[in-house]
């Protein structure tokens, strides 16, 4: 629900990748390199799928490969260390510079190599399911499936995004082949949350307050009859949905989120619309550099029409921020 209300599709792949990366760091911190490598490998696949789907995950991939490199170096596994270093160079802005967390001494032990020199090349036929997906191999887009690739022997990461789904897998080749690889990316389920997400995305794309019909559509999907919306960052509006109506009615305008919510909770038919005021900011930094900077991006909704029971805070529009906050506050009856 939180992802839908912020205009994003809930993506269990990211949740899985974040959790795996956290486990890798915890294991490495306790010198459990076996656990760190297993968790880092899981994170790589999750973030490779997200990368194929258009997400910016280079930082996460670099962290995962750094754990793999450090642990492979500790174990004396030169092949795995060279492979991790190669992926780090591919993902780095400065390929010759040691990545964060990797010492210069370790980095220099695994210089860039010509992957095709004196190395067996395997012929690999790649398909996606559904067919026609963009194929990524070792974090580079190489074309649309079906396709044929010639790859050095060893393990490679294959990923695709097609039909609304994304997936990644490892495949290892030790002879010329030909080999067949199918990356299966089943589409995520669609339902009420997806409908909510689409309405939110449409409103955000407009860059202006929603219409009464759009608010009514969102309220119907949420199952609420009072809603506070902050879209532009300069105006906060409160809406009610009369029974049986297909258009929500604007009844409150305010800048202060708490004031707008309080006025909507206390609103009764026939009450006057409150004056507009600037939206107060949360945070004190520069929105361009500080993730805690002022972010006027709230939407409030009363749950199930029982306004006195609580207020649900949701996101309709963020303003150049990677941080989003969703709260549920329930007051005792």
Strand order from edge to edge, sheet including 154-162: 140-144, 134-137, 154-162, 165-173
- pLDDT attached to residue 10: 67
pTM for the whole structure? 0.62
Cβ pair 293, 299 in contact under 8 A: no
Handedness of CA 22, 24, 28, 32 (dihedral sign): positive
How many other C-beta atoms can be found within 10 angstroms of the C-beta atom of residue 4?
23
Q: How far is CA 267 from CA 22, 127, 204, 225, 247, in A?
A: 46, 59, 27, 12, 18
Cα–Cα distance for residue pair 71/265, rounded to 1 Å = 57
- pLDDT attached to residue 296: 35
- pLDDT attached to residue 5: 59
Average pLDDT, consecutive stretches of 10 residues, N- to C-terminus, the chain (333 residues): 62 90 96 97 97 92 97 96 94 85 95 71 95 95 95 94 90 92 85 78 73 87 78 70 84 75 74 48 40 39 38 40 38 41
- pLDDT tens digits for 210-267? 889 988 888 888 777 788 876 555 567 888 888 778 899 998 887 766 677 777 777 7
- pLDDT attached to residue 319: 34
Instruction: Look at residue 154 and give its three-state secondary structure.
Output: strand
Beta strand pairing call for 226-230 and 310-314: unpaired
CATH topology of domain 121-184: Immunoglobulin-like (2.60.40)
- pLDDT attached to residue 277: 42
Q: Indicate the domain borders of the chain.
A: 2-108, 121-184, 192-330
Strand order from edge to edge, sheet including 179-184: 147-152, 121-129, 179-184
């Amino acid at each position: 629900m939180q992802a839908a209300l912020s205009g994003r599709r809930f993506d269990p792949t990211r949740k899985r990748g974040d959790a795996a990366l956290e486990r890798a760091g915890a294991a490495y911190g306790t010198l459990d390199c076996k656990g760190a490598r297993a968790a880092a490998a899981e994170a790589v696949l999750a973030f490779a799928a997200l990368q194929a789907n258009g997400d910016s995950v280079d930082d996460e991939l670099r962290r995962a490969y750094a754990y793999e490199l450090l642990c492979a170096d500790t174990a004396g596994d030169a092949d795995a260390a060279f492979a991790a270093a190669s992926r780090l160079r591919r993902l780095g802005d400065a390929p010759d510079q040691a990545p964060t967390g990797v010492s210069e001494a370790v980095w220099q032990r695994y210089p860039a190599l010509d992957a095709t020199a004196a190395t067996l090349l395997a012929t690999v036929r790649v398909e996606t399911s559904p067919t026609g997906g963009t194929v990524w191999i070792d974090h580079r887009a190489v074309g649309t499936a079906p396709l044929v690739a010639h790859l050095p022997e060893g393990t490679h990461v294959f990923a695709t995004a097609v039909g609304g789904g994304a997936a990644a897998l490892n495949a290892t080749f030790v002879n010329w082949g030909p080999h067949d690889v199918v990356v299966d990316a089943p589409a995520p389920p669609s339902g009420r949350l997806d409908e909510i997400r689409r309405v939110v995305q449409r409103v955000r794309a407009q860059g202006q307050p929603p219409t009464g019909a759009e608010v009514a559509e969102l309220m119907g999907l949420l199952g609420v009859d009072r809603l506070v919306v902050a879209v532009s960052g300069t105006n906060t509006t409160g809406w009610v949905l009369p029974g049986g109506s297909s258009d929500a009615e604007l009844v409150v305008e305010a800048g202060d989120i708490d004031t707008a919510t309080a006025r909507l909770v206390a609103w009764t038919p026939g009450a006057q619309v409150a004056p507009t005021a600037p939206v107060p900011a949360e945070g004190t930094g520069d929105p361009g550099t500080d993730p805690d900077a002022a972010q006027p991006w709230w939407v409030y909704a009363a749950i199930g029409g029982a306004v006195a029971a609580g207020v649900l805070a949701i996101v309709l529009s963020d303003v150049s921020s990677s941080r989003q906050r969703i709260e549920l506050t329930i007051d005792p009856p």
